[in-house]
Chain A
Amino acid sequence: MFQDRAPAPEAQPAPAAEPEPAPIPQRVAPENKIVTMPVRSGQTVIADKGDLTVVGPVSSGAELFAAGNIHVYGRMRGRAFAGIDGDENARIFCQSLDAELLAIAGLYRTSDSLGADVRHKMVQIYLEDERLIVAPFG
């Protein structure tokens, strides 16, 4: 049988038994960082409370660190460390992959182990079963 009205108030469990509701945890927006200049060899950019987006090239010898994801819109030749606080869901996105080293939550791969099929391609890098997957788009 369908009921065409809301259940009667007495059908709800009595909320009175509960004490003061716990304060809702303050939602803090992640502090994402955007860099719009080339990241040069020897430079380090850190986004320790969120995502890091670089609009420009990242040179070999440059380092990117982020608690969250890392996005690079430009040739990525440097080192990228995503999920530095242990976030295994963090990902790295590159418009053109030529990185020296890629790491997510401490698991890394070096340039040596990247196949020719992903080099200079648009890729995303993520963790799956403790393995770092480098997957081209499209």
Chain B
Amino acid sequence: MSKVIVVTSGKGGVGKTTSSAAISAGLASRGHRTVVIDFDVGLRNLDMIMGCERRVVFDFINVIQGDAKLNQALIRDRRLDNLYVLPTSQTRDKDALTQEGVEKVLNELREEFDYIICDSPAGIERGAQLAMYYADEAVVVTNPEVSSVRDSDRMLGLLSSKTARAERGEEDQIKSHLLLTRFDPKRSGDGEMMSVEDVLEILAIPLLGVIPESPAVLRASNVGVPVILNEKSRAATAYEEAVARLDGEDIPMKIEGEKVPGLMSRLFGRSA
């Protein structure tokens, strides 16, 4: 059974695309057939982070509009055999996305892939809404900082009301996970940043992982390699563990500089 996972945040610049790249590479290296789709029409970035920008011929919008077949637009990753990228258009805008078109492409991908990762644009407009609409699960990327947390909370509200699963009814709601990125244990300890517990208390969803602030993330982006596949770093390890949890593995949470709070283990336990 394939899963559609949206990576979203509301606020821009928190690490959605970096996380989408890392998560999809992580799932693929665990042996799952994985595709990652760029929903940020007009601000095409994912292909650069994945290092395949020179190989883009057709894109997501071409497929939606029937100008190209899905197979022509999918780009196979050079490092991992079972990882594909569906890039978006840089010349069009979000209005080129249609609900029927997105549904058709996702249904076609569901037949081929185990995991379909949707890299959402920032904001709450059309692009973001269509990225989440058909999702089965959501990874909400949040920085430990008040505006990011509030925007994430807004996204969680939309996930529980403006998606296909929400509209279908009570039972199988979207499963949302929190991915805390750019976390600096020292600044959190000093009270300059929100703590993991503060964020969890407000958002009240299970924690998928805490990614430490690391220069390795920027280096990986610059060379077009997902963090997880680049040099060994603390951020890469944290992403690997988050991906394993997303894949259903039970890995205890360790956060540098913080003792695991009771609330967190409670919330994490609830995800099972």
Task: Name A residues whose Cβ lies closer than 8 Å to a Cβ of B.
Answer: 37-43, 56-57, 59-62, 75, 77
Contacts and interface: CB of A to CB of B under 8 A. Distances in A.
Chain B's interface: helix, strand, loop or mixed, by majority?
helix
B247 interface: no
B153 A59 contact: yes
B69 interface: no
B110 interface: no
B154 A57 contact: no
B160 A37 contact: yes
B202 A43 contact: no
Interface of B: 150-151, 153-154, 156-158, 160-161, 201-202, 204
A94 to B, nearest CB: 16
Contact of A41 (B154, B160, B204): B154
Given A41-B151, A43-B157, A59-B153, 7 more contacts: A38-B156, A38-B204, A39-B157, A40-B157, A41-B157, A42-B153, A57-B204
Contacts of B150: 41, 59-61
Contacts, number: 34
A42 B157 contact: yes
Instruction: Determine which residue in A38, A60, A77 has the highest number of CB atoms from chain B within 10 A of its CB, and name it.
Output: A38
Nearest to A62: B157
Contacts of B153: 40-42, 59-61
Contacts of B154: 40-42, 61
Nearest to A39: B157
A41 B204 CA distance: 13
